[in-house]
């Protein structure tokens, strides 16, 4: 049993994890959910009529959605849960430096064992969210030299957003609203099979079996956008596909777009080269 705190007065005792947050940016984490500002204020007033279990909200207003997670580095247990500098630029620099380690063969997070997960058994505090391809050759934790729990990763063939449905968009919104990540990175890669299939599909004008056809259709706009541009057609389509996803996330309401406009969250795109191991930022 841990008592939640605000700068105003202590809240009632609750079985949950709580953080020291200046009121009114009060955040009470109850059974894995960060309750909304409204519920938190009612809790602070000792209102017993609030039904917390049925109101599974986590910071969906533009104001509360981001400000509260900025304080998550200071839990009541006094332990550190992630870097103290969570500015988007700092996190991006961390990933760039990690990729340099990977390319040079000087990984600092080379091993994985059960003990690496012990400290994260009760919660996570990733530094960034990565939307990457499901391709088995593109493991973000390794190519960015990050440890267990450092990256919140969503992987789907073709690393696309528009047409991917609630599972992809909702996961990225969750990363911002609930986990407090300040960097969203869309990661494409060379020789992407999904983009290759979209190019071939347009060329042959045929139908692919099952849901593969729907998947490829979502990538077609990127292929058409880059079709007549100079250079390698596949590379151009891969970059266009990443760029379209970045643009979609930057304007994705109601969770991500407001934090991007305020500068609290940064959305970037990058392409990983399978042959060299290098990740090239697109901005």
Query: Distance between CA atoms of 247 and 15, rounded to whole angstroms?
Result: 40
- The counts of H helices and E strands in the chain are 10, 10
Question: Of the candidates 74, 71, 73, which has an alpha carbon nearest to the alpha carbon of residue 82?
Answer: 73
> Which tokens belong to 107?
């990984």
Annotated binding site: 133, 135, 189, 192
* Cβ atoms of 177 and 255 closer than 8 Å: yes
Q: Are strands 128-132 and 33-34 parallel, antiparallel or unpaired?
A: unpaired
Q: Is residue 254 reached through a cis peptide bond, with omega within 30 degrees of 0 on the bond before it?
A: yes
Query: Residue 154 belongs to what H/E stretch?
Result: strand 151-155
Annotated binding site for Zn(2+): 133, 135, 189, 192
- Provide the b/e sequence for 243-280 (b: ≥16 CB within 10 Å): bbbbebbbebeebbbbbbeeebbbbbbbbbeeeeebbe
> Which tokens belong to 269?
């795109």
């Amino acid at each position: 049993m841990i008592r939640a705190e605000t700068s105003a007065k202590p809240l009632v005792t609750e079985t949950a994890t709580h953080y020291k947050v200046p009121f009114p940016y009060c955040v009470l984490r109850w059974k894995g959910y960060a309750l909304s500002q409204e519920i938190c204020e009612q809790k602070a007033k000792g209102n017993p009529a609030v039904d917390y279990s049925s109101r599974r909200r986590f910071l969906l207003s533009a104001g509360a959605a981001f400000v509260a997670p900025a304080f998550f580095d200071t839990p009541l247990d006094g332990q550190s849960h992630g870097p103290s500098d969570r500015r988007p630029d700092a996190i991006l620099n961390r990933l760039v430096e990690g990729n340099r380690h990977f390319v040079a063969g000087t990984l600092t997070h080379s091993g994985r064992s059960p003990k690496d997960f012990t400290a994260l058994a009760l919660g996570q505090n990733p530094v960034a969210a990565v939307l990457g391809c499901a391709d088995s050759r593109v493991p973000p934790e390794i190519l960015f030299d990050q440890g267990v729990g450092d990256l919140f990763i969503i992987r789907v063939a073709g690393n696309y957003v528009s047409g991917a449905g609630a599972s992809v968009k909702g996961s990225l919104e969750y990363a911002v609203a609930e986990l407090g990540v300040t960097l969203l990175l869309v990661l494409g890669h060379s020789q992407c099979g999904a983009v290759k299939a979209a190019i071939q599909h347009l060329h042959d004008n045929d139908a692919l079996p099952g849901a593969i056809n729907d998947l490829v259709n979502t990538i077609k706009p990127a292929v058409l956008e880059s079709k007549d541009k100079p250079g390698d057609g596949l590379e151009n389509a891969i970059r266009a596909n990443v760029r379209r996803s970045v643009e979609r996330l930057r304007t994705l309401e109601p969770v991500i777009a407001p934090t991007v406009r305020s500068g609290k969250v940064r959305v970037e795109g990058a392409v990983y080269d399978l042959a060299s191991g290098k990740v090239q930022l697109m901005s």
